[in-house]
Amino acid sequence: MRKFLLLVLVILCGCDNTPRATVDGELLVGKRFDDVAVFLGVPFAEPPVGDLRWRGPQPLTSKVEQRDATDFAAACMQTMRILDWYRYMAETFGASRDYYDDLEVSEDCLYLNLWTPTLDDTARLPVMVWVHGGSNNSGWSYENNYRGHVLAPQGVVVVTVAYRQGLFGFLSHPDLNNADAVANFGLWDLVAALQWIQDNIEQFGGDPDRVTLFGESAGGQNILALMLAEPAQSLFHRGVLQSTAGYGLSMPSLYDEQLRGADFGDLIGTGSIQELRMVKADKLLKVYTENFDDHYHSPAIDGQLISESTWRRIQEHRFADHELMVGTNRDEWLDFIDKDASVENLIRLANERLRIEGEVALAAVSNETDPRRAMDRLRTAQSMVCPSQNLAANRTASGGRAWVYYFTRQREDDGGKKVGAFHGAEYSYVFGTHDDYMATTEIDLELSTVMQRYWINFATTGDPNGEGLPEWPIFQHPGPLVQELGDKVRAIPAIEAELCAAFKAWNDQGN
């Protein structure tokens, strides 16, 4: 009887504590995670299926009166490459591959997830929007380490967004010349999500005038592209680029994308885009993966969203008014290099470098006794460290502000010894979501707390520094400094000076 009376009281007073918000005529019903209101699987566009495949994201019209926002939506169509990587990492650190569940995928995937400490529409908290990585070919918005329940209670609204991957998000076709979007559909999805945030985030306690994008790998690449893309520039205010190699050093043209699309149509056995839209998604994915598995899906110069080379704009100091944080992990490529790599492999790699002269490259890493470590340094420097420092230097030279970090923390277990400060190691520290199969010591927890405060301060004020934190200097010449994030947190001279001087020389020659 008592339970019945309590249920009646809850219904009458509406005090069941379930978070609710009305967006575009829909009542979103979320859930609580401790003191955080959580809304999962919130649509920000129509499902890009059927005639909407390979079109720009369309405004949501398939609305319902009340939407259950308590579960994640399916991930965008993709191969299991990133899931397999996670399972490999679990094995590397001594856990079972079954640690990670199977992944549900669908073309109907344009949803976002949101964590907020308040639904007060006057709170105007800074908004942190995560853009996941995965080579623009795989990955999803709710990977275990991408959840906002640790960051949100510290006074921010956290949003993670999905966007179309691979052939569904980064392909074009000759039939699309006069379409609303001719390429870069995954990037247009991010623009649509940002517009949704501008229109609705106040209802979730967020400030539409303080929106920070942060993302890793291809996610960082996409953020940089959007920072320099006029249709997106006014939709956010700051960017954090974590371990990205995508600086626009080489960008495909619309012709390149359309040629690949036409070739793909021939492989499927149909010519027109309309016929391709009628083919089942799983068949498209299978044929595409069999034939274009090695293709890297960079943002393309499409003449609509991106009108010219990102790298050229960086060198010419043509930035929008965004503050910038950018950084690299110490061992980005180590785990991708053959365990039996030899000195001959190192020499071959150095001579294949297109942006650092071979003899200079070999001299700079001559103190390394392990060829794998030397190869990792070369690959990390030419694709990440040196372009990052170049970007930051040009941003500050243009009158803006940029901070650079160098993440060096290695887990204190056998897995950590194998992979070092690997590609992707830092985001569990940023989110405070450490996998329980990795050794997590007091050092890791303290570093994680510091990094969260840096990221949140940056989202709040445009400057990562704050009371009680080691001072993080702006990256600027002469004597540029970067912030080491590792066993110690401190400012150190910009890393890989020899290699980056050679990279600058290459760049100054007009390459």
- In this prediction, residue 15 carries a pLDDT of 59
pLDDT tens-digit map of 99-122: 999 999 999 999 999 999 999 999
Q: In angstroms, rounded to a whole number, what is the distance separating the alpha carbons of residues 126 and 207? A: 6
Tell me what the mean pLDDT of segment 122-151 comes to. Answer: 97
Which single residue is written with the structure tokens 């994201």? 57
Quickly list H helices, 269-370.
Answer: 273-276, 281-292, 310-315, 343-352, 358-364
Tell me what the mean pLDDT of segment 411-437 comes to. Answer: 97
pLDDT tens-digit map of 279-302: 999 999 999 999 999 999 999 999
* Closest to 240 measured CA to CA, from 156, 129, 151: 129
Tell me what the mean pLDDT of segment 397-418 comes to. Answer: 97
Q: In angstroms, rounded to a whole number, what is the distance separating the alpha carbons of residues 487 and 493? A: 17
- In this prediction, residue 355 carries a pLDDT of 86
Structure tokens at 391: 């970007």
pLDDT tens-digit map of 54-96: 999 999 998 899 999 999 999 999 999 999 999 999 999 999 9
* Closest to 276 measured CA to CA, from 108, 106, 54, 105: 54
pLDDT tens-digit map of 308-323: 999 999 999 999 999 9
pLDDT tens-digit map of 142-180: 999 999 999 999 999 999 999 999 999 999 999 998 888
- In this prediction, residue 11 carries a pLDDT of 46
Q: Which of 138, 141, 172, 217 is catalytic?
A: 217
Other beta carbons within 10 Å of 89: 22
pLDDT band at 8 (very low <50, low <70, confident <90, very high): very low
pLDDT band at 5 (very low <50, low <70, confident <90, very high): very low
Any catalytic annotation for residue 96?
A: no
Tell me what the mean pLDDT of segment 15-34 comes to. Answer: 93
- Using the predicted structure, report yes or no on whether residue 439 has a pLDDT greater than 80: yes
Domain ranges of the chain: 18-321
pLDDT tens-digit map of 345-356: 999 999 887 788
pLDDT band at 270 (very low <50, low <70, confident <90, very high): confident
pLDDT tens-digit map of 231-264: 999 999 999 999 999 999 989 999 999 999 999 9
- In this prediction, residue 13 carries a pLDDT of 45
Chain CA centroid to CA 362, Å? 32
Q: In angstroms, rounded to a whole number, what is the distance separating the alpha carbons of residues 45 and 163? A: 11
Length of the chain: 511
> Topology of domain 18-321, per CATH?
Rossmann fold (3.40.50)
In one letter, which amino acid is 476? Q
* Closest to 386 measured CA to CA, from 230, 511, 222, 232: 511
Tell me what the mean pLDDT of segment 412-439 comes to. Answer: 97
Residue 74 is classified by DSSP as: P
- Using the predicted structure, report yes or no on whether residue 9 has a pLDDT greater than 50: no
- Using the predicted structure, report yes or no on whether residue 12 has a pLDDT greater than 50: no
- In this prediction, residue 6 carries a pLDDT of 44
Cis-peptide into 464, omega within 30 deg? no
- In this prediction, residue 511 carries a pLDDT of 58
CB within 8 Å of 308: residues ≥ 6 apart: 301
182 conformational bin, left if phi > 0, alpha if psi -120 to 50, beta if neither: alpha
